Amino acid sequence: MSKYVKRFGMLAVLAAAMTLPASAADYPDRPVSLMVAYSPGGATDFQARIVTMVAANEEYLGQPIVIINRPGAGGKVGWNKFASGARKDGYELAAYNVPHFIAQSIKFKTKYNVENLEPIANWGADPAVFVVNRDSPFNTMKDVQDFAKANPGKLTVSGAGLFVGHHIAYLQIEKALDGKLKYVPHKGGAPALKSVLGGQVMAGVNNLSDAYRSRDSLKILGIADVQRNEEFLPDVPTLKELGFDVDDSSVNFRGVMVRKGTPPEVIDMLAAKVPEMFKNKRVAKQMKAGGSPVRVMTRDQVKAMWAKREAFLKQLLAGL
């Protein structure tokens, strides 16, 4: 009897050894997946594909990163599944979008929050911009403010959905203008921009990268960030410069995260190599060609940024 127990015990140990990662030192010894909570072709998706294309190089992970799209409900489906079901061995990564996932975790009953996820590194920052149609009578933010003050609640502003970066930028701008505007949510950034181009709304809050592509049909009046974008729109002032109290809280940060409980050695290894991978020359060139603003941040910087955003959003969304 004891012989069988012993054998069974050995088998169990063997099985455990086979299923667990051999050891954190060998990590990674097979391809790693990166879950994107949005559809293929979207900005998060194609940027994720670009920044991970050199992962297999020896100086980075030495293994390719495979993108898995799990869209639905504004990202909630993918992140819920990730925070509750992803393996904690470092082979399942996910892309985050701040402030989206933090705002959702405050506003809805989600399985994810800042506490149960561990940031690795940030690759991009797409600030929100305030745009009007090329034919619009508004030429500056001052014109917008004057109109809003004279006609409270008459100025329609489009943006992508509720409780996303655009909506948060809108709320900050409305407060800073000290007037009453009207937010018109859309199903995503592209339809929201379409409404500005088609003249269905008077103004819009949209991504810098999308507005940049359509810059010939738009007037970009201000950036909701703390610094100008020297790469794409060096001439557009920040809202702060214009005297409106809007900071970078709505900037759409994109980066990579893992589940809490992932071995610290794995996290440290990723935190050291992934930012270097994002800084790769080929990646930088391709990102610029695709009109995507890059901002590489290390794990510690992202951690601080997450905490700051959460505190701010809790306060902002409390009244809604």
Binding site for other proteins (CB under 8 A): 39-42, 45-46, 49-50, 53, 68-74, 76-77, 80-81, 107-108, 153-156, 160-164, 182-188, 190-191, 193-195, 197-201, 210, 213-214, 216-217, 286, 289-291
User: To the nearest whole angstrom, how small is the minimum distance from the Cβ of residue 146 to other proteins?
Assistant: 17
Torsions phi, psi for 236 (to 5 deg): -85, 125
CB closer to other proteins out of 138 and 248: 138
User: To the nearest whole angstrom, how small is the minimum distance from the Cβ of residue 168 to other proteins?
Assistant: 13
CA distances from 122 to 254, 259, 294 (A): 6, 16, 9
CB closer to other proteins out of 6 and 154: 154
CB closer to other proteins out of 68 and 304: 68
CB closer to other proteins out of 129 and 305: 129
For tokens 């809604």, name the residue. 320
Q: Is 26 helix (H, G, I), strand (E, B) or coil?
A: helix
120 and 299 Cβ atoms separated by less than 8 Å: yes
User: To the nearest whole angstrom, how small is the minimum distance from the Cβ of residue 303 to other proteins?
Assistant: 28
User: To the nearest whole angstrom, how small is the minimum distance from the Cβ of residue 141 to other proteins?
Assistant: 19
Nearest to 131 by CA among 44, 42, 192, 43: 192
User: To the nearest whole angstrom, how small is the minimum distance from the Cβ of residue 114 to other proteins?
Assistant: 21
Q: Is 226 helix (H, G, I), strand (E, B) or coil?
A: coil
CA distances from 132 to 43, 91, 144, 155 (A): 22, 44, 10, 11
- What type of residue is 124? G
CA 277 to CA 294: how far, in whole Å? 13
DSSP 169-216: HHHHHHHHHTS-EEEEEESSHHHHHHHHHTTSSSEEEEEHHHHHHTGG
CB closer to other proteins out of 74 and 119: 74
Decide: residue 293, CB within 10 A, 0-12 exposed, 13-18 middle, 19+ buried.
buried
CB closer to other proteins out of 80 and 145: 80
Q: Which two tokens stand for residue 247?
A: 């900071």
User: To the nearest whole angstrom, how small is the minimum distance from the Cβ of residue 153 to other proteins?
Assistant: 6
CB closer to other proteins out of 152 and 264: 152
User: To the nearest whole angstrom, how small is the minimum distance from the Cβ of residue 309 to other proteins?
Assistant: 19
Q: Which two tokens stand for residue 281?
A: 């020359």
User: To the nearest whole angstrom, how small is the minimum distance from the Cβ of residue 213 to other proteins?
Assistant: 5
CB closer to other proteins out of 70 and 279: 70
